[in-house]
Amino acid sequence: MQFPADLRYTKDHEWIKLEGNTATIGITDFAQGELGDIVYIDINTVGTTLAAEAVFGTVEAVKTVSDLFLPIAGTVLEVNPALSAQPELVNTDAYGAGWMIKMTVSNPADVDALLSSEAYAQLVH
């Protein structure tokens, strides 16, 4: 299982990649493996400003539905358009084509408080 070093992670199994003031967010490879085959992603928070750890959507797998939590505070800018037709991209490429949202972050320094790839690996092993 891979945990790219250029990302930060949450205990709720989301990842975040910060580029300037914009962040890309998805769920980790570990999370998609635990969920199983993902069949639907419901995110209707575009344009909404949310606090850290607020629910920004849900992911539905064959076995379960799980909430998606925002790693840090900010405003949701867009949802990955490919996921409506191909939610399984989260299973096959969790850190690439399976990204979920892009957001403007309220305070980029908040990312530093999230887990490093090493700390996240220890959490899930």
CB-CB contact of 77 with 103 (8 Å): yes
Q: Which of 21, 66, 61, 18 is nearest to 38 (CA)?
A: 61
The predicted-structure confidence for 5-27, as pLDDT tens digits, reads as follows 999 999 999 999 999 999 999 99
pTM greater than 0.75 (yes/no): yes
- Any idea what the Cα angle at residue 71 is, between residues 1 and 57, rounded to 5°? 90
Continuous H helices in the chain = 29-35, 89-92, 117-124
CA 64 – CA 38 distance, rounded (Å): 9
The predicted-structure confidence for 35-51, as pLDDT tens digits, reads as follows 999 999 999 999 999 99
Residue with tokens 């209707």: 44
Confidence of residue 2 (pLDDT cuts 50, 70, 90): confident
CA 63 – CA 124 distance, rounded (Å): 20
Which domains does the chain possess? 8-124 (2.40.50.100)
